[in-house]
Structure 1
Amino acid sequence: MRRLLFRGLELGVPVGVAAGLLLVALGSSLSQLAGLGAGTLVTLALFVVAIALGETARLTVLAGRLTAPMSSAAALALGLSNIAPDGDAAVGADVVVVTIGLGMLVGNGLLEATRRPVHWSGLAARFLGAAVVPFLYRSVRFDGATLLERSADWDSQRWLVAVVMLCVGSVAMLVDLTLQAIVRAGREHGPVLRSIVDEIRSTIGLATALVTSGTLIALAAYALGVVALPLFLFPLVLTYFAVQRYASIRQTYRQTIGALSSLTDRTSYTVPRHAQRVAEISMAVGRDLGMSQRELTDLEYAALLHDLGQVALREPIPQGATVMAAPADQQRIAHDGAEIVRSTGVLDNVATIMEAQITPYRQVREFGQDLPMASRIIKVANAYDDLSGPEGLHADRAMERIHLGLGYEYDPRVVDSLTRYLDRRGRSTAPSA
């Protein structure tokens, strides 16, 4: 039931809630929009443009999660700024929410027009996080006044205004990251609490930069007006290009490992796409067991390269099925592959995982050996793919063989996770009678 709930969250609940909030805000803001001055409307329009352009400049972080840092910073700044000229009524939270929503929709409409993917659940999570700012800063009253009204009275204590803005922005970012984590947990069938912790830990640097940038823009707006928006977004633009370059390097790195993993396929030491299938199964099991993103990255690399040591064999193993090889041959394959990887000087942890992948689970149970969870996962995933045959035609037989080694060769927790993964794929995993 819990997994169905998370799956529903990933598929439509955030989008539905965001759409409902936007419609409600639009209905309640129409009268105020009609009464705003030309200067305020121009400022709102500039924020719409900034948010829309920010949506088109996205970054990929945390294994595929798309984020738009410039859009998020501009949305935070709008929620924290008093953009109405002196003498005009303060712009209400509903108008700010509509402006943020309009900017995000325009930006993602441009993405759709250029045939770039739009992840609506992630967009909805970011919108709901940004909507927290105007709600807390402009609507909620503390001792009879909103934070926006109180900030106007703290001219001599701008540091206090900055602290309040940072706190509000941090709450909004926490809501955003929590919703993003729930969406990811539903999509990947992972534990939600671990996903939230991993999301926050993996993006804390970027989140801090966004909250700080939004606060700086809002504070500078008191002296500079709307000019503060492009002025303080410019450092984020430079950061965007730097992060894009880093992401490109990481992608090239991943492609290089993928190409190296196909070496055993091309030399007929293993069946086609064996390493890719083992990596796919391993990643699904790792997510199900709540591994962090850093651990998942090492797991993926080790799974892709787990059979690399076979290139040192004089004669290929039939079908490349290491699970059927003698223990001494398995040990040599794991050791040779680990030494090849270790020689790069940058993947020592991956090499350790690869070298331990043939260690039976009883070494942990009986002797307390420190066997990495990633190694246990690869051992089970590799055995399943070796035993199930082409297209998984012998999945039942493979699971039967794995269950015979339960607690001796294979970690029961990993096997249970594999069973859940196969159930989700609609395969029968029950051992034959």
Structure 2
Amino acid sequence: MRERLRRIDLRGPIGVLSAACVLGSLWMSRGGATGLTGDVALELVLFLVAIALGETARLTILTGRATAPMSTAAALGLSFTALTSTDGRPVDASVVVATISIGMALGLLLLRLATGSAHWGGTAARLLAAATAAVVYRSVDFGGRTLIEWQDRWPGDRWLVAVLMLTVGTLAMLVDLTLEAAVRAGRDHAPLLRSIVDEVRSSGGLATALVTSGALIALADFAVGVAALPLFLFPLVLTYFAVQRYATIRTTYRQTIGALSSLTDRAGYTRTQHAERVADIAVAVGRDMGMGQRELTDLEYAALLHDLGQVALREPIPRGATVMAAPADQQRIAHDGAEIVRTTGVLDNVAEILEAQTTPYRQVREFGQNLPMSSRIIKVANAYDDLQDPGGDNRRAMERIHLGLGYEYDPRVVDSLTRVLERRRRSAPSGS
């Protein structure tokens, strides 16, 4: 049952739900759009343009997903803004959702034309989150009135209106993060609850800023009108460039570690791309076991650098297969690699993982040694790649690993590796 749940991919259902949301809001807004004043229509168009442009300015956060902070903040601001029709009633939620939908669709089209590729999954999640905020704030009755109608009865208590906006905005962002986590869990075969927690941890700060910005746009609109939109989106523009720079630094950091990991390949100590293969397997196993993104990042770096200590050897190990080396030699390679990494001064967690990567699992089982899970994963992933036949047949490698089950290798890690390999076998093209 657990494996069956991991195989569920929600990208399709979320896309269908968002499409239904778009079509439903467009259909329902036909009557509401006819009662708009010129000023309200102009404000809706400005929000639409801001959402579209914001959709083209995307950021990639730690979990690897792309988000559009300015689009989200503008959509939340529109959901909360007290726009009224000619009869004095608040603009219907269907009109708001239709505006957000058109803006996001236009932004997606612009992004497609500019870059040649645009992923709609994140846009669908953001649309459903904004629709949630609009419907809850403008359509759901609370004591006979909607929240946007209640705010007109509290002209002297704007702080209470702000609390309501922040509460509904938080609900909307939880919808967004949950949908994003569900899609990622289905794609990466990771535990759903862990993916949600990881998404909240990675995006919680940004989500808080977006909710606050949306509420400020709506509150300021009461005093300065549509000028509130650029006024409170401008700080997000600065944040966008700052996060973009951080993402560039993180990418360069990963490339530097990748280049360092290839040193043993170039020097003839290991087989070509051995470190990349071990890192790929290790990260897949880590996801399967429910590791968070920060743990996965350390695991990937450690897996890439796990053979770095071999540069201190006088003579290379045949095929670079450390699994065939004597235990003392394995420990010396791990120690030397960890010492090299420690000299950087910024990879202490990675050095700790490298130091323990050759420790047998029996040290945990028999003596209770605190052995990092990442070290256990690298030990299994490295053994798998070292023992694999050149033709790609993994049966011999898995048989050898199972001979050391519970003594050299953690049974839970080996079980996870088996699941990963089985999924890859099923998804591989027939005949490959």
TM-score range, shorter chain: over 0.9
Instruction: Note closer, same or farther for the CA distance 1:83–1:391 as it changes in structure 2 (3 Å cut).
Output: farther
Checking the alignment, whether the CA contact within 8 Å between 1:83 and 1:225 is kept in structure 2 is no
Residue by residue, what CA displacement relative to the aligned partner does 1:275-322 show, whole Å, maximum 9, x if unpaired? 001000000000010111111110000000000001111111111000
Secondary structure of the residue aligned to 2:115 is coil
Residue by residue, what CA displacement relative to the aligned partner does 1:190-223 show, whole Å, maximum 9, x if unpaired? 0000110111111111010000000110100101
Checking the alignment, whether the CA contact within 8 Å between 1:22 and 1:101 is kept in structure 2 is yes
Instruction: Note closer, same or farther for the CA distance 1:305–1:427 as it changes in structure 2 (3 Å cut).
Output: farther
CA distance in 2, matches of 1:391, 1:264: 22
CA distance in 2, matches of 1:251, 1:147: 44
2:227 alignment partner in structure 1:
227
Checking the alignment, whether the CA contact within 8 Å between 2:6 and 2:191 is kept in structure 1 is no
1:409 alignment partner in structure 2:
408
CA distance in 2, matches of 1:17, 1:86: 32
CA distance in 2, matches of 1:73, 1:391: 52
Instruction: Note closer, same or farther for the CA distance 1:356–1:6 as it changes in structure 2 (3 Å cut).
Output: closer
Checking the alignment, whether the CA contact within 8 Å between 1:334 and 1:354 is kept in structure 2 is yes
Regions of 4+ moved over 4 Å: 1-8
Checking the alignment, whether the CA contact within 8 Å between 1:278 and 1:381 is kept in structure 2 is yes
Cα shift at 1:5: 5.4
Cα shift at 1:7: 4.7
Q: What amino acid maps onto 1:232 in structure 2?
A: F
Number of residues of Structure 1 aligned to a counterpart in Structure 2: 427
CA distance in 2, matches of 1:183, 1:7: 11
Cα shift at 1:10: 3.5
For residues 282-321 of structure 1, the aligned pairs below 5 Å read: 282-321=282-321
2:430 alignment partner in structure 1:
none
CA distance in 2, matches of 1:355, 1:286: 18
Range 109-118 or range 73-82, more displaced? 109-118
Checking the alignment, whether the CA contact within 8 Å between 1:385 and 1:392 is kept in structure 2 is no
Cα shift at 1:390: 3.1
Instruction: Note closer, same or farther for the CA distance 1:85–1:230 as it changes in structure 2 (3 Å cut).
Output: farther
1:21 alignment partner in structure 2:
21
Cα shift at 1:115: 2.8
Cα shift at 1:4: 5.1
Aligned-pair identity (%): 69
Instruction: Note closer, same or farther for the CA distance 1:427–1:16 as it changes in structure 2 (3 Å cut).
Output: closer
2:425 alignment partner in structure 1:
426
2:325 alignment partner in structure 1:
325
Residue by residue, what CA displacement relative to the aligned partner does 1:370-419 show, whole Å, maximum 9, x if unpaired? 000000000000000010133523x0000000000000000000000000
TM-score by length of 2: 0.96
Instruction: Note closer, same or farther for the CA distance 1:210–1:80 as it changes in structure 2 (3 Å cut).
Output: same
1:41 alignment partner in structure 2:
41
Checking the alignment, whether the CA contact within 8 Å between 2:40 and 2:84 is kept in structure 1 is yes
Cα shift at 1:114: 1.6
Instruction: Note closer, same or farther for the CA distance 1:391–1:62 as it changes in structure 2 (3 Å cut).
Output: farther
Checking the alignment, whether the CA contact within 8 Å between 1:39 and 1:85 is kept in structure 2 is no
Q: Is structure 2 residue 399 aligned with structure 1 residue 400?
A: yes
1:136 alignment partner in structure 2:
136
Q: What amino acid maps onto 2:419 in structure 1?
A: R
Q: What amino acid maps onto 1:334 in structure 2?
A: A
Secondary structure of the residue aligned to 1:114 is helix
For residues 361-372 of structure 1, the aligned pairs below 5 Å read: 361-372=361-372
CA distance in 1, matches of 2:131, 2:189: 27
For residues 95-114 of structure 1, the aligned pairs below 5 Å read: 95-114=95-114
Residue by residue, what CA displacement relative to the aligned partner does 1:221-280 show, whole Å, maximum 9, x if unpaired? 101111100001001001111111111111111110010011111111111110001000
CA distance in 2, matches of 1:98, 1:402: 57
Cα shift at 1:126: 1.3
For residues 175-324 of structure 1, the aligned pairs below 5 Å read: 175-324=175-324
Q: Structure 1 unaligned segments of length 5 or more: list them.
A: 429-433
Secondary structure of the residue aligned to 2:156 is coil
CA distance in 2, matches of 1:163, 1:32: 28
